[in-house]
Structure 1
Amino acid sequence: MSKLRNLAALTVATSLLVSGCSSTDEPSAVEPTATAPSSGSIKTDDVQAALDAMVDAGSVAAVAQVRDGENSWSGAAGLVERGGTEAASADDPVRIASVTKSMVAAVVLQLVDEGKVQLDHQVDELLPGLLPKPVTIRQLLDHTSGIPNYLVGFDSAEQIASRSTDSVTDDELISQALAMPWTTEPGQEFSYSNTNYVLLGRIIAELDGKTIAQSLQDRVFDPLQMTDTTYPTDAAIADDALHGYVVENETYTDVTDFDASIWSSSAAVVSSVADLNTFFRALFDGTLIPQNLIDEMQVVTPTGYGLGLLLGLDACNPGSGELVFGQRGNGFGYRTFALSSPDGERQVSLAWTTAAPTPAMDPLEQPATEALIAGLASTCPA
């Protein structure tokens, strides 16, 4: 099966298409540069300068790791905590938000490989009576289900902070979504919804006989030795985690401690940039799922979304149509990019710890895009 479906329908042929997990999620276009380093070794100066520029632009911290084959480089700028003295490190965990979706998708595809489910199975076959319309597993994975997004009402720092201690169940999140009008009929078009991945978490629990947190631990985190990665179900986060801030009207609100149940299996995971690169390498080199399912993941719709993945045009040769695959996370006070070559040989993961209430307002968007592109370009062959 071709890795591209109607690529010509992409309206921005030279863009990196990325999406996240806020209530205003839509794919957005980021222009790559045509600049490439002069050799195949990782060129770190531009990447570090881009991280420094992100802090200069207002982020409390910015961290990244770049990998090219067996070579890797990690960099950081800024501080663990605003007003503190401890320097940020690329080893420090962050909330990765919607990058969680790629991990959940990997577990779903492992269950497909084990014969426990098929991509075209309807949700009603697995969770009878839950949905009023026929939706398939594939439609949940690629956001074509039409199911409304439960994550609304977080449009200001005050609204976000006021919900930091709320504990909610998956049933409550799903019920909230189903009380809203459906965005489309199932299968008609792309419409980003975190509810899709809450439902996938429920399906994984049903098929695997354990919580989504335990399935991710057993199937992904432990086998890959992702020791900085956890699936919190409350407000807990590692003591060495970078603090996250919502910035609005030049006021910084610390939202590091935030009950993760609001994210559920759509965006709850805490990880580090190194662990993210470890995950995407293992996802695409055949360690986690076989090649036929990697190919299935990397089939994308005209919106630039596959099965838990986003696509981008590789900064090494943006005019060639060569692709990178990964995910983007838009969290409360944290944002993340992670992209990899299709074969898992080259990766860049980037996280920063200061974000506007909605991605469209984020003053760090352009500096972060430049840092992401610098990371990709740093691995380009001569």
Structure 2
Amino acid sequence: MRSFRAVPVMAAASLLLTALCAGQAPAAVSSGRAGVDPATAERLDDAITAAMKKEGIPGVGVGLWFDGGGSYERSFGTADKAAGTPMKADLYTRIGSVTKTFTVTAVLQLVDQGKLRLDDPVSKYLGGVPGGDRITIRQLAEMRSGLPNYTEDTAWLAELRADPARSWSPQQLLATAFRHPATSPPGTRWEYCNTNTVLLGLLVEKLSGQDLAAYLREHVLEPAGLDDTALPKGAEIPSPYLHGYTTFSPGGNVVDSSGWNPSWAWAAGAMTSTLDDLHTWVPALTGGKLPDGGRLLEPGTQAQRVRTLPTGHPGVGYGLGIADVNGWIGHNGELPGYETIAARLPQQNAVLVVIVNSDIDKDTGSLSTLIGKTVTEIATPDHRWELPAAAQPEATPPPATPTAPPPPKPPKP
């Protein structure tokens, strides 16, 4: 999913150790559940740091909270390698495809307002979509439209690699996608596709009369108490922020991507947030309830949102802009340099947030998945965050080489 995916191969072991050891003073542990007692917290510390050292991960932030008692919050490693700044929990980060959970929430609110129906064809509201009279809003949100994914267009990928600061409009992204034929008939196959969510973002704008960023701020972020979450118009990210590291560069070198423009991901993956805001968001997303007792969605709409369907990958289901990974309900996200997990385990009333500032994965499949699995196989062994390799395509293409550059693979938000 890709974000259902990422650290640079450091030049020397000393650099790895510097990145790993900076800022690892443990946060306080609140005991009360077996999952986060001091002994378990120590096991988690050791396992996470070992994984970081093995994969060369610059920085990791982890939060695991159990309703009614017990939490584990840690920051490991380095947030900015150039300055040697340690990782901290209050840093802003780019959250990639976790953005989809916000965009689809906005769509479902429009359903509750009577402005659309999930089983309406997209052509009823938006023109120019190939086969749009047979593709429903529900199929867009469930990733079952069969539309081509613009982030798999090789010419577009080359443009993005050459100029990651470029601004892209939603219409340019859709034009790229629609140069290609459909991948399957609507409703017949689950296939992760950013084109779907870009269309949903345009749908929100058309039916609400607001731009997507403004709608989300007024109707989703502010009601949910998410003061540190936003959809930027361009490359902006609030300070203090986490620096992200990637090899998605013309020469395949490790570069800092924190100033890159994520407009190419827009409604599908351009938002910024913090670990604390994601901790607040996950219960609202998965339960539909707000901190003040209100609701983001009507109960019936919320029930439809979290009813996931098989994806064809073991242990992985997908609903309306939301995933089920072995019982964990939420989403992950990736952009060049950034990876995120934000999910809830209803069976144990647990919330998990993982933030990683690299997508250079050394063939592990995904660094955020590696950390998520490391945490959950200790804290919730019956429910591991574990995505099959086939469900998490490359977040960034492999490094280019002067002699034989490989064909690029898509970076997916």
Asked if these proteins are the same fold (TM beyond 0.5), I'd say: yes
**What is the aligned-residue identity percentage?**
27
Given the alignment of the two structures, is residue 332 of structure 1 paired with residue 331 of structure 2, yes or no? no
The question of 1:110 aligning with 2:98 is answered: no
Q: Deviations over 1:22-74 (max 9, x none)?
A: 8xxxxxxxxxxxxxx99446343333334323431211110011221155442
Provide the rounded CA distance (Å) in 1 between the counterparts of 2:347 and 2:108.
17
Deviations 1:235-272 (A, max 9, x none): 11122111001148995211111112111100011111
The answer to whether the Cα contact below 8 Å between 1:41 and 1:378 also exists between their aligned partners in 2 is no
2:61 to 63, 66, 86: 63
Report the equivalent of 2:203.
Answer: 203
Q: Which has the higher contact order (CA 8 A, sep 6+)?
A: 1
Q: Distance in 1 between matches of 2:276 and 2:269?
A: 18
Counterpart Cα distance in 1 of 2:297 and 2:32: 35
Bigger Cα displacement from structure 2, 269-278 vs 337-346? 337-346
Q: Partner residue of 1:162?
A: 162
Q: Does the 8 Å contact 2:286/2:330 carry over to 1?
A: no
* Conserved? CA contact 1:334–1:354, under 8 Å: yes
Equivalent residue for 2:269, pick from 262, 267, 270 = 267
Q: Which amino acid aligns with 2:109?
A: Q
Q: Matched residues in 1 for 2:378 and 2:299: separation?
A: 26
- Aligned CA-pair RMSD: 3.0
What TM-score do the two structures reach when normalised by structure 1? 0.80
Match of 2:44 among 43, 47, 57: 47
Question: How far is the alpha carbon of 1:291 from its aligned partner?
Answer: 2.5
Please, what TM-score do these two structures have when normalized by structure 2?
0.74
The 5 A counterparts of 1:288-303 are 288-303=296-311
Which of 307, 311, 323 is matched with 2:324 structurally?
311
How much does 1:215 deviate?
A: 1.2
Cα deviation for residue 137 of structure 1 reads: 0.5
Structure 2 unmatched ranges of 5 or more: 6-30, 290-295, 312-316, 384-413
2:241 is matched by which residue type in structure 1?
A: A
- Aligned 8 A contact 2:36 2:379 in 1: no
**Offset from partner CA, 1:330-357 (integer Å, 9 cap, x none):** 211111112102489321010101113x
The correspondence of residues 120-269 of structure 1 with structure 2, limited to 5 A, is 120-133=119-132, 134-152=134-152, 161-247=161-247, 251-269=253-271
- Aligned position for 1:354: 358
Give the letter for the 1:47 counterpart: L
Q: Which residue of 1 aligns with 2:79?
A: 80
Partners of 2:252 and 2:358 lie apart in 1 by: 11
- Give the Cα separation in 2 of the matches to 1:90 and 1:130: 42
- Native 8 Å contact 1:21 1:194 kept in 2: no
- In structure 2, how many angstroms separate the alpha carbons of the residues matched to 1:19 and 1:166? 22
Give aligned pairs, total. Answer: 338
In structure 1, runs of 5+ residues without a counterpart are 1-17, 23-36, 314-322
Q: Cα 1:296–1:364, aligned 2, differ >3 Å: closer, same or farther? A: same
